[in-house]
Structure 1
């Protein structure tokens, strides 16, 4: 389980692009991922039972897929006809072309026909775009907006993982997971089949791997195995896939143009295999008894692994095999007579070279079978195998290093691509690893790091969302954790970089919930719009809560306690008007689809008194002043201010403060005055992803360390003409030097230019 300390979250500025869609279309064209070119026409295509799906030999499988989909979800039974050349009269035409780029397609919807042209997977991707033009309700006749789409993928690797070791998921659950991936043009399913908690793939030569290694929960109950730590719900579910079931899932995925990347973990994360075959485990010359998760680097182990991989390779047509390589407890090797003898024989100076030797031996074997090795970024340690592809999870550093060495890379970094993290405030979400990761953070991620040259960036194959199942006991819980964040992965890996737009994606994402309902898919519900932490100096406070899904109901309280079933459910919008003397804690329990799905939220509305300070305004000069302090101390109260190393003035919202690089933190302490020229209502926020602390006249408006998306904070202040003292502090890093420290908007939503209000004495 990848659960290291998180690096600072890096925000990528999204290019705002003009959306040339009229409001009437906005309700229709919500295709995810955003196509390269999309034009809306006038009118609609009416799809009824008389329509024929015309296909050629190559597109027949996709035609059957569409035919089955329309029957399953719309009770619409269409005829499918295979032609040497699809006639112009067929209502739906799926036509194979010799396109330029694998996966490219064109979709033309007119009032009389639907035509999909594509190369390879392209016809299938065109059909997925068509599916998202269908209404999310089974209402006849089905209307499809007239439009033209020309589209192709940006990256070839658009992935999603599934850990079936920590909790076993059935063949049907895996197929449904693949189904929904396919709807969003994701094309790599990374199947994490082995780990400490369970071995899930049948290996004929070593039957104990599944007879014992897949039944660890059973053996734990017999008292014959360690307690399964980190697993919730009383331990994992036992189970494994037979080789026939593996073949069945591979065919199912292939019919949806998804390749499966199997992962067989080594040399660490191997406790289930060692439980089944103890001789594989790292021997300890001191005789100490402890958990053994590391494979002994013996000839017996290499023979075993080659035998296992031979059977895996015979099953999986995919060119890549993932061998793990992460979190290897290499110190165990220093006590192993086998490993120590190997180090002596090979002239190795450190245990990291044993890891490199191990990976390179396996790589040589895979190459002999015409397969390529993929491993987590720890395989860089001790020297990288010559043909290895690196999956970069511990942030981007490993991926950047590998790309600079001209190795292929898949970017799956913490925190953005780790969907076992909660999606909002941790107190209100299911238990998870790591701090909050919102869909906005996922969407804003850019796989081609600016640290790479254009030539090096070409080695980035794409990106992938990862999920680890220690705390995920059921399929519906899995769906909740992965979606809607997987939609952001789909768009950032498929759509052109300049075609990304956070607000448009937000709208489109919310339109997917009708399909989720159709597919019986338990995606996490969207948040209520308007639930922000607010500081205000208004005595009479008004708030309107809105919700993007029709029919949603909410129970809410204003006393800080989560409303229970005795609270009356109400439909949105909710208008809250109240006298405000101190603090109001709003807690909401929103339900949708017959109360099966729900989401919890909370917000604090705090009252403060803020009036202009008495000051000689003629003595003010432009800009805020700030002091930079070097420190290793994370607590501002304990920071030694004698470590001051510079003072300066900022004249714009973005401070552009570069952090020091000598191992210290760079604390920024600022002060100055906000000068207001016109009485009115103003909104005060920070655009830092991880917020600074900001005070106006000594009253705290923004609290440090909160996530902009998960815990939005605003000052909603009525400010009279005059000056207001501002102070604040934060730790400067490479991320926030590109973000706006302070944003002030007038009542009509216009951003006020910083030079208008920034002053100091």
Structure 2
């Protein structure tokens, strides 16, 4: 515990209107903060102790606080006699995770019951100023308790192995932000990561793959093909579980079944439907090789595995996976088909339900309950199962209506392995787009549920899947700061959440994490946003999102470095009529970490007003020209040979032709006032018009070339026209659109024919 506390660095206090009564930089936001008159200054030789009338259990929190102060401020403390400056008081009448923290002119008192005292300690440490020279803490009263009982993060160690030291660091930061569940994803197609003594080939075979996992098409450039492996011994697991318990975090292991089993099958091929041979997975995706549901040896194997797992994890829950289990092998397997017939099951989905229910009964007999991904709903939900809803909220809603407990973890809000910004500036990853603001906006209680049904939503969880995350620094980068938003969703009352206020206190927390050597993603500076102006200049005011950091910028298109212009005051950017300029900025923290170069474009012109039109059906109208042209512009005014409608700008129906031209016309639905970027990649030439204005000129005979253009659009419908020609040979047309600096829009959702 002492080592953990010594690693915690102080939080730079920032005064902010975080709520009507709150003026302290806390994450997650407490249930109630009332500011009082005055303050308390923590001086040298202060005394901490447990309250005399309370349980000796509270003494350890005084020791934790002393260790924290000694590590971060080099203060001297006196134990024992005299009036205590800081008192930790055990109060068994309080709920287990609730606490009360009072700061008066005379001292500090923290009251709670077990975990509550620990959480009160975390809040107190966040209240402390950054510098020893000014140890003044404002007088206040905080009364606090969590909104949800399950406040989790999941780390996938199956696809990439992470050492024990990193697992402990991950748990350390979780504890600071009042998470209480660590979901440890221990088995996968690409690796089995927990020692099972009865089955030694799980260690010697299933834990090692012959090469590092390569990604989907076009995404393998960062992977080196070297063997990858590792597993946790049972002694290491015990150590980690206790380490987490000391921080009031319960570790929930996941042993995947019946799918994601390729690594285990490589070790013990008789457990699969075909008998193999199998090899530990070396690619991503959903694999057809799964445990044979008609083979009783499979259930005996999994029961043996669980018999070794259960003593290591005192958790009430064991996660058994249940997701992404293709039925291909079961459909062809005589044993599986015989099992379906013997049990009178309807199909392979009911066979999966049988599999899950059978394993649930075994775990129930051992005093444990199961959690499974929402696919365990298919074919009928096991009687006592808790559902983890990841494919949106639909599975969670269905389970709650059936009066089953639910943990919400929809990929659309809580999959922290998705991109956080423009992919051009981000590490290679799985895809998707999930910025901090979207994460923070999540509300876990669906309106589709009644108040009684909502009681079955027991919490939320952020997930880190590691197909493209091969070491701890990258895991940190993907987890934080988005996990700070998750902590506030899970802990704070819904009516206290405020994104703008959250952003105001975030810089102090990121400065703290920076000193702890947590490799979080450094966010874009506040104020760096694309802008449109009708004036002769744009004025840009920036604030770094890490307290104490410096900003450096360029306006000439070059990449900024620490040798570039240091930001010290608002930047004035002169603009000629219809001129655009790009501002590039980097953030450099106190510890020397440097962000990616983030950009914003400033354009002098007016927004295009939306068209006064009614849209027709989704898609666009096309005109096909069976003629040779040398420029797409020469299609204008020609008479088409045929016309029709299509969902988007798709040349595949015409790709059998050697030479032709095509014009697409329709309406583009701009969903907000913004600066939009349009892009064409074409072979041969293409041109793109918005409201009859040429925006992207990619014309002429050439190979595959990408061109872009910008235009500010008011919310609503705008005319869009794309002209393309092919003069023979290879042909390609890709059209993309989106708000500048954001992920591209799915054009199928925003294109309409004109009535």
TM-score bracket for this pair, using the shorter chain length: 0.7 to 0.9
What SS does the corresponding residue of 1:205 show, helix, strand or coil? coil
Distance 1:122 1:115 in 2: 13
Q: C-alpha displacement at 1:70, in angstroms?
A: 2.4
Counterpart of 2:99?
105
Distance 2:395 2:288 in 1: 27
Counterpart of 2:187?
194
Equivalent position to 1:265, from 247, 252, 256? 256
Counterpart of 1:20?
20
Distance 2:39 2:435 in 1: 36
Any conservation in 2 of the 1:392–1:398 contact (CA below 8 Å)?
A: yes
Distance 1:60 1:728 in 2: 67
Any conservation in 2 of the 1:73–1:518 contact (CA below 8 Å)?
A: no
Please state if 1:359 is matched with 2:356: yes
Q: How does 1:126-525 map to 2 (within 5 A)?
A: 126-137=120-131, 139-140=132-133, 142-216=135-209, 219-220=210-211, 232-234=222-224, 237-283=228-274, 293-297=289-293, 298-525=295-522
Any conservation in 1 of the 2:511–2:547 contact (CA below 8 Å)?
A: no
Distance 2:77 2:621 in 1: 68
What SS does the corresponding residue of 2:414 show, helix, strand or coil? coil
Q: What do residues 208-265 of structure 1 show as CA deviations (whole Å, max 9, x unaligned)?
A: 212222222xx448xxxx9787785436742211111111111111111111111011
Q: What do residues 64-98 of structure 1 show as CA deviations (whole Å, max 9, x unaligned)?
A: 332332233333454566xxxxx993221111113
Cα distance change on mapping 1:729 and 1:479 into 2, 3 Å: farther
Q: What do residues 608-640 of structure 1 show as CA deviations (whole Å, max 9, x unaligned)?
A: 36799xxxxxxxxxx995524333x4x687997
What SS does the corresponding residue of 1:356 show, helix, strand or coil? helix
Distance 1:20 1:445 in 2: 22
Any conservation in 2 of the 1:442–1:488 contact (CA below 8 Å)?
A: yes
Counterpart of 1:709?
none
Equivalent position to 1:600, from 597, 602, 606? 597
Any conservation in 2 of the 1:352–1:382 contact (CA below 8 Å)?
A: yes
What SS does the corresponding residue of 1:69 show, helix, strand or coil? helix
Q: C-alpha displacement at 1:282, in angstroms?
A: 2.7
Counterpart of 2:634?
none
Q: C-alpha displacement at 1:688, in angstroms?
A: 13
Equivalent position to 1:47, from 31, 42, 63? 42
Counterpart of 1:568?
564
Please state if 1:57 is matched with 2:56: yes
More displaced, 500-509 or 588-597? 588-597
More displaced, 580-589 or 171-180? 580-589
Q: C-alpha displacement at 1:473, in angstroms?
A: 1.9
Any conservation in 2 of the 1:547–1:572 contact (CA below 8 Å)?
A: no
Any conservation in 2 of the 1:106–1:151 contact (CA below 8 Å)?
A: yes
Distance 2:502 2:316 in 1: 33
Distance 1:379 1:688 in 2: 44
Cα distance change on mapping 1:642 and 1:482 into 2, 3 Å: closer
Counterpart of 1:30?
25
Counterpart of 2:65?
66
Q: How does 1:630-669 map to 2 (within 5 A)?
A: 630-631=617-618, 633=619
Any conservation in 2 of the 1:159–1:190 contact (CA below 8 Å)?
A: yes
Q: What do residues 483-504 of structure 1 show as CA deviations (whole Å, max 9, x unaligned)?
A: 1111111111111111111111
Q: What do residues 489-545 of structure 1 show as CA deviations (whole Å, max 9, x unaligned)?
A: 111111111111111111122221221133222221121122222233334333333
Q: How does 1:86-97 map to 2 (within 5 A)?
A: 89-97=83-91
Any conservation in 1 of the 2:356–2:376 contact (CA below 8 Å)?
A: yes
Distance 1:715 1:688 in 2: 4
Counterpart of 2:575?
579
Counterpart of 2:632?
none
Q: TM-score, normalised by structure 2?
A: 0.76
Distance 1:725 1:169 in 2: 46
Any conservation in 2 of the 1:264–1:323 contact (CA below 8 Å)?
A: yes
Equivalent position to 1:629, from 606, 616, 627? 616
Q: C-alpha displacement at 1:289, in angstroms?
A: 14
Counterpart of 2:4?
none
Any conservation in 1 of the 2:160–2:470 contact (CA below 8 Å)?
A: yes
Any conservation in 2 of the 1:160–1:190 contact (CA below 8 Å)?
A: yes
Any conservation in 1 of the 2:94–2:112 contact (CA below 8 Å)?
A: no
Distance 1:558 1:508 in 2: 29
Distance 1:438 1:281 in 2: 40
Distance 1:689 1:111 in 2: 55
Distance 2:373 2:277 in 1: 31
Query: What is the count of residue pairs matched by the alignment?
Result: 629
What SS does the corresponding residue of 1:545 show, helix, strand or coil? coil
- Any stretches of 5+ residues in structure 1 without a counterpart? 1-16, 82-86, 613-622, 644-666, 672-683, 702-712, 717-723, 731-741, 743-761
Q: C-alpha displacement at 1:399, in angstroms?
A: 0.4
Any conservation in 1 of the 2:553–2:585 contact (CA below 8 Å)?
A: yes
- Any stretches of 5+ residues in structure 2 without a counterpart? 1-16, 282-286, 624-642, 648-665, 679-688, 696-709, 721-738, 740-755
Distance 1:430 1:495 in 2: 31
Q: C-alpha displacement at 1:287, in angstroms?
A: 12
Relative contact order: is structure 1 or structure 2 higher (C-alpha 8 Å, sep ≥ 6)?
Answer: 1
Q: TM-score, normalised by structure 1?
A: 0.75
